[in-house]
Amino acid sequence: MKSIVILISGRGSNMEAIVNACQREGWPARIAAVISNKASASGLQLAAGLGIATAVVDHKAFDSREAFDAELARVIDGYQPDVVVLAGFMRILTEGFVRHFEGRLLNIHPSLLPKYKGLHTHRRALEAGDAEHGCSVHFVTEELDGGPLVVQAVVPVAPDDTVESLAQRVHQQEHLALIHISE
């Protein structure tokens, strides 16, 4: 059975989708811990309420990105995960961190990579007049949003879409795409 550590920065809806899949769909996986860089992340309360171990490594408590990543890696390693999933974790990770978890670090990104790496993906897709948008689950490499793809989910862009309406439909697909992390 695979052991998964999930990293979050906010409400944890993608984390919740992973947890639900583990419980309902009979995945050969278990959630070892949910870790956030923000003590205020509401997803931590959700995870704790489900009996999942939680931890906080506050990035603001460190003088450098490298120091934060070293402590984050130490905390993650304590749970001995087979897979580490970035599920709304809003930090760019150092090369050393990425190398430490190479081949075990997955991210969910709200675009059809390689299009729209980084932030504001829904707005960028609308401004470009794209006919379709979506999300990607990919392995994390040293290149921002540039690692090998695991799966993508496509969402058609409607003529009356707003950033919010498109984001909502993409987010629904993120939850479905995440089922591939246990494979």
Q: How many residues does the chain have?
A: 183
Q: Spell out the residues 6+ positions from residue 12 whose beta carbon is closer than 8 angstroms to its own.
A: 34, 41, 42, 43, 44, 46, 47, 87, 88
Instruction: Give CA–CA dist 15/5, Å, rounded.
Output: 10
Instruction: Give CA–CA dist 32/55, Å, rounded.
Output: 11
Instruction: Give CA–CA dist 25/36, Å, rounded.
Output: 25
Instruction: Give CA–CA dist 24/115, Å, rounded.
Output: 33
Known catalytic residue at 180? no
Instruction: Give CA–CA dist 160/79, Å, rounded.
Output: 46
Annotated catalytic residue, options 100, 109, 122, 138: 109
Q: Spell out the residues 6+ positions from residue 89 whose beta carbon is closer than 8 angstroms to its own.
A: 7, 8, 9, 36, 37, 107
Q: Which residues are catalytic?
A: 109
